[in-house]
């Protein structure tokens, strides 16, 4: 059954040779790698307005200037990453640039920042998508968290099917969203030009500043504007994903990736400017904490506000019941949820590169049945779902943890590119090529300065509001990756073969010990297998927790005439593991050049509940023996009838085995100790 469900959800397994068939044309690469920055126009304008209204309506006139600064920053970042795509087409993106030019530590800072940011991309995108669903269907507000976690599970299943399949799934919603927003912008601007400007549902609402008796000026005003700008910079999240995904493009990879990057930048800027312009025309008013007066006494009842894009759509298309409004809300909610796909592609790919460089567990470098990095996809889904659950899928709470990581990677990668061009110029003598390198270096220098300034602004304005959690997470991740690399390096050095002939020297003797619980077929098979290995000495070992049972076992042993000596160890405290381990270690101490092979008979059962009917103490015994140098542990399985039935090809996947409880090395199973008869 699990194999059937997996096949239905993920699809048939693909051969490694089919990897080339998963490469993407530009029309599919755009929705896969650019859905995050394209969809961020749905909340970037809203984040600017939310911050400016902290001071009251009087400060909304800063919105066009802040939006212009965001657009300029987008242009600089897109141009800078075009250079990365051409200079480093292997898919490492910012991590590879920083590692190569600034050193491994700087590369790890970029990697840790991006991994945290990818997690936040999933959480914020899904939460924002759920917000837009609730804007159209307010009755779903009580199910916000369940909806968010459910969408993460759905995205996980789609991405496990492979990059190309997820691209086909996400292409239509992304293009519908782009088309819908552009139609809304054009319609709104035409109405405005004809003298019939659309008006939002909150245009007549007033906003009371947090400190009504204070007029912001000087440093306070600067901080308000900078904070609004840093919130608006969420429009840039995900821009670097294309530079990380160059290997997924069709050839010529760098050229196609660069073209997709430019197309993404142009579309994102047009939509962002359009939505911001319409928000100002329709006089959208939105705050973090909205309430309505319920009487003359000034009582205030809280209510759920519609998102900015929802209010604009309702104003442009003629109300909340219009077809255009529901289309925009459906497309926005869908693309915001699917925007998390940018992270579902970027996170596993970056994790795979880090695993290859031994900074993360090797399992993250392996491809799954559909040639996707399945372990990375699952890891991202689990952490993002936990965040959504912990922060109750609230965009405002999650947004403060956002974008810090992406601007860290922006800044360090641009600094790395500046150093890269300096190294190229040091060896290049062709005047034409040198002029081109000077131009690209100037672009990357500007990008480093601008993104560095934005990083400082984001850090200052958002640190106390929750960004410190992102900083802490990235720091812990950085330390963890260094620790993993140190472990792998130490292990490699310890396992390296220096003298092959010395390592191949045979041990003085091999002592085989078969652990016995009772005299039954599994025991006989273990004895036969141990004898077939031709050890220098063979003996059977049992632990006596009941003298009568031990005597009965010895009597049966002699009665069957088994020519293997049976060693009985008394255990007055009814322990099994410690007496065996101490006996084996004592032999090891007396003969340190000998190898001890311990054979443990075990059942193989076909159902999970059958494992509950057999005690698990032998598992501890095996784990303890594995820590003893010079000791080899071998499990000798005995398949029960239920295991053969469960392993039938029609019911189970090829190669699937269910292991049951290893049998215990003692003379009988004492009922009083909860071990049960096997």
Mean per-residue pLDDT, 651-668? 45
Mean per-residue pLDDT, 12-41? 68
Report whether 24 contacts 250 (CB < 8 A): yes
**pLDDT of 294:** 46
Mean per-residue pLDDT, 382-399? 84
**pLDDT of 20:** 46
At 651, the pLDDT band (50, 70, 90 cuts) reads very low
Q: How far is CA 676 from the centre of its chain?
A: 43
- Dihedral sign for Cα 372, 42, 305, 190, please: negative
CA distances from 245 to 103, 258, 615 (A): 22, 11, 49
Query: How high does pLDDT run on average in the chain?
Result: 79
**pLDDT of 601:** 87
Vertex 480: Cα angle to 479 and 486 (nearest 5): 90
Q: Where are the domains of the chain?
A: 2-488, 507-673
**Of 379 and 91, the one with more pLDDT:** 379
At 662, the pLDDT band (50, 70, 90 cuts) reads very low
Peptide bond connecting 252 to the previous residue in cis, omega within 30 degrees of 0: yes
**pLDDT of 621:** 82
Using the predicted structure, report yes or no on whether residue 398 has a pLDDT greater than 70: yes
Report whether 406 contacts 114 (CB < 8 A): yes
Mean per-residue pLDDT, 615-619? 67
Angle formed by the axes of helices 144-160 and 374-390, to 10°?
A: 170
**pLDDT of 359:** 92
At 278, the pLDDT band (50, 70, 90 cuts) reads very high
Q: Which of 644, 634, 663, 558 is nearest to 605 (CA)?
A: 644
CATH topology of domain 507-673: Rossmann fold (3.40.50)
**Of 606 and 571, the one with more pLDDT:** 571
**pLDDT of 667:** 47
Task: Output the pTM of the full model.
Answer: 0.69
Vertex 296: Cα angle to 290 and 302 (nearest 5): 20
Q: How far is CA 132 from the centre of its chain?
A: 24
- The predicted-structure confidence for 318-335, as pLDDT tens digits, reads as follows 887 888 888 988 888 788
* Whole-number CA gyration radius for the chain: 33
- The predicted-structure confidence for 504-558, as pLDDT tens digits, reads as follows 666 778 899 999 988 888 899 999 999 999 999 999 999 888 888 888 998 999 8
Architecture of domain 2-488: Up-down Bundle (1.20)
**pLDDT of 469:** 82
- Identify the top-confidence range among 74-83, 208-217, 381-390, 657-666: 381-390
Report whether 246 contacts 80 (CB < 8 A): no
Q: Residues with Cβ < 8 Å from 407, sequence gap 6 or more?
A: 233, 236, 451, 454, 455, 458
- The predicted-structure confidence for 442-464, as pLDDT tens digits, reads as follows 888 888 888 888 888 878 777 77
Mean per-residue pLDDT, 335-347? 78
Residue 542 burial (10 A CB sphere; 0-12, 13-18, 19+): buried
Using the predicted structure, report yes or no on whether residue 44 has a pLDDT greater than 80: yes
| Distance of alpha carbon 19 from alpha carbon 471, whole angstroms | 37
| Distance of alpha carbon 125 from alpha carbon 42, whole angstroms | 10
At 670, the pLDDT band (50, 70, 90 cuts) reads very low
| Distance of alpha carbon 397 from alpha carbon 131, whole angstroms | 13
Q: Residues with Cβ < 8 Å from 66, sequence gap 6 or more?
A: 48, 52, 225, 228, 229, 232
């Amino acid at each position: 059954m699990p194999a059937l469900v997996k096949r239905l959800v993920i699809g048939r397994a693909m051969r490694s040779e089919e990897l080339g068939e998963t490469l993407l044309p530009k029309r599919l690469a755009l929705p896969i790698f650019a859905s995050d920055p394209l969809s961020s126009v749905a909340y970037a304008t809203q984040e600017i307005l939310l911050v400016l209204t902290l001071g009251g309506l009087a400060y909304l006139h800063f919105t066009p200037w802040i939006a212009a600064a965001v657009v300029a920053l987008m242009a600089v970042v897109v141009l800078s990453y075009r250079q990365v795509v051409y200079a480093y087409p292997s898919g490492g993106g910012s991590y590879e640039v920083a590692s190569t030019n600034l050193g491994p530590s700087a590369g790890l800072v970029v990697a840790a920042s991006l991994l945290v940011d990818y997690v936040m991309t999933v959480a914020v995108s899904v939460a924002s998508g759920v917000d837009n669903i609730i804007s159209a269907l307010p009755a779903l507000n009580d199910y916000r968290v369940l909806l968010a976690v459910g969408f993460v599970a759905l995205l996980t299943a789609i991405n496990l099917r492979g990059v190309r399949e997820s691209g086909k799934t996400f292409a239509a919603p992304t293009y519908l969203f782009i088309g819908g927003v552009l139609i809304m912008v054009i319609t709104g601007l035409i109405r405005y030009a004809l003298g019939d400007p659309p008006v939002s549902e909150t245009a007549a609402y007033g906003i009371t500043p947090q400190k009504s008796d204070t007029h912001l000026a000087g440093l306070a005003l600067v901080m308000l504007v900078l904070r609004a700008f840093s919130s608006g910079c969420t429009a840039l999240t995900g821009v670097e994903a294309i530079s990380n995904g160059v290997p997924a493009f069709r050839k010529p990879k760098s050229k196609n990736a660069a073209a997709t990057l430019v197309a993404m930048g142009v579309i994102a800027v047009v939509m962002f400017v359009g939505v911001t312009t319409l928000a100002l025309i329709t006089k959208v008013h939105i705050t973090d904490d909205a309430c309505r007066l319920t009487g003359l006494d000034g009582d205030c009842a809280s209510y759920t506000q519609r998102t900015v894009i929802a209010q604009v759509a309702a104003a442009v298309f003629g109300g909340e019941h219009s077809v255009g409004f529901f289309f925009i809300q459906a497309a926005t909610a869908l693309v915001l949820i699917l925007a998390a796909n940018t992270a579902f592609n970027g996170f596993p790919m970056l994790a795979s590169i880090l695993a290859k460089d031994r900074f993360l567990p090797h399992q993250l470098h392996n491809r799954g049945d559909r040639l996707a990095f399945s372990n990375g996809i699952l890891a991202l889904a689990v952490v993002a779902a936990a965040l959504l659950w912990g922060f109750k899928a609230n965009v405002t709470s999650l947004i403060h943890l956002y974008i810090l990581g992406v601007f860290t990677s922006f800044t360090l990668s641009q600094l790395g590119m500046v150093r890269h061009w300096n190294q190229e110029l040091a060896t290049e003598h062709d005047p034409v090529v040198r002029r081109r390198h000077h131009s690209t270096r100037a672009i990357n220098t500007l990008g480093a300065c601008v993104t560095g300034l934005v990083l400082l602004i984001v850090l200052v304005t958002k640190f106390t509001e929750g960004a410190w959690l992102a900083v802490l997470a990235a720091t812990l991740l950085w330390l963890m990756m260094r620790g993993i690399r140190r472990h792998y390096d130490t292990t490699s050095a310890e396992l390296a073969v220096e003298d092959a002939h010395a390592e191949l020297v045979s041990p003085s003797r091999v002592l085989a010990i078969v652990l016995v619980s009772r005299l039954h077929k599994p025991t006989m098979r273990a004895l036969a297998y141990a004898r077939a290995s031709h050890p220098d000495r063979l003996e059977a070992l049992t632990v006596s927790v009941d003298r009568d049972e031990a005597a009965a076992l010895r009597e049966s042993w002699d009665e069957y005439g088994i020519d293997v000596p049976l060693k009985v160890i008394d255990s007055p405290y009814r322990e099994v593991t410690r007496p065996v381990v101490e006996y084996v270690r004592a032999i090891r101490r007396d003969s340190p050049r000998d190898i001890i092979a311990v054979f443990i008979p075990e059942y193989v059962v076909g159902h999970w509940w059958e494992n509950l009917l057999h005690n698990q103490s032998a598992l501890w015994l095996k784990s303890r023996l594995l820590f003893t140098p010079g000791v080899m542990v071998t499990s000798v399985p005995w398949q029960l009838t239920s295991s053969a039935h469960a392993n039938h090809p029609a019911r189970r996947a090829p190669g699937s085995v269910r292991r049951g409880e290893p049998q215990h090395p003692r003379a009988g199973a004492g009922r009083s100790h909860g071990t049960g008869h096997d």
